Amino acid sequence: MANSPELLSSDRIYGGKVFDIRIDSIRDGEITYKREIVVHKGSAVVIPVFDDGTVALVRQYRHAAGKYLLEICAGTLNKGEDPEVGARRELEEEIGVTAAKVEKLCEFYVSPGFLTEKMHLYLATGLTETTQNLEADEILTVERHPLADLLEMVKHGEIEDAKTIIGIMLAVKIG
């Protein structure tokens, strides 16, 4: 892997509120190919663990999946926003709590074959209840479950969201 492939061209074909789409033409040695790329600013995700060992998650309808999913809170980062600031913002917006401590657990690409989005995953503790501040199109309910139960819910297919599964697995390992 001495030389990286060469980007020949990049054409933006869609510009949206949450993401853009471009078509890249790439040359790798003697082979030329095209890739459709979804360009996303990245997101912050946070697993809030209360003093009693419960975790707050949100249940919301996900149209792409065609059903309600149970997830840890998450949100798209604003342009240039520090991921920890985004995590703290989403925690208060969706769950209605602030955190005394926010610890970065990891960051990962969601689906690097076609999507630029990188998720920054945080563990929040020392939680204080405030008020939810949902956006107009955020329709969700908050549920609290013991961390140990969440692992069983993953094993039984009750939690299907990848970021949530990663967050639970890391929180269990730390806790």
Mean pLDDT over the full length of the chain: 94
What's the average model confidence in pLDDT over 78-98?
96
Distance CA 76, CA 58 (A): 16
| 149 contact partners, CB below 8 Å, separation of at least 6 | none
Answer whether 74's CB lies under 8 Å from 93's CB.
no
Tokens describing residue 122 = 């945080």
What are the tens digits of pLDDT across the range 117-135?
A: 999 999 999 999 998 888 8
pLDDT of 1 strictly over 60: no
Question: In the annotation, is 135 catalytic?
Answer: yes
Residue 12: predicted pLDDT:
97
Residue 53 gets which letter from DSSP?
A: S
Q: For the packed helices 162-174 and 147-155, what is the interaxial angle rounded to 10 degrees?
A: 130
Superfamily of domain 41-174: Nucleoside Triphosphate Pyrophosphohydrolase (3.90.79.10)
What tokens were used for 97? Answer: 């709590």
Top-confidence residue, 126 or 79: 126
Please report, for the chain, the start and end positions of each structural domain, with discontinuous segments joined by +. Answer: 6-39, 41-174
The gap between the terminal CA atoms of the chain, to the nearest Å, is 39
Angstrom CA distances, 26 to 13, 14, 142, stand at 17, 19, 44
pLDDT band per the 50, 70, 90 thresholds, residue 22: very high
| Cα–chain center distance at 94 | 13
Is residue 175 over pLDDT 80?
A: no
What per-residue confidence (pLDDT) applies to 134?
Answer: 85
* 26 close to 8: Cβ distance less than 8 angstroms: yes
Can you read off the two tokens belonging to residue 112? 């690097």
Does the pLDDT of residue 87 top 70, yes or no? yes
Residues β-bridged to residue 58: 71, 142
Query: Over 90: is that where the pLDDT of 138 sits?
Result: no
* SS3 (DSSP) at 132: coil
pLDDT at 35 over 80: yes
CA distance 120 to 5: 27
Active-site choice (135, 143, 152, 158) = 135
Residue 54 CB: number of other CB atoms within 10 A?
16
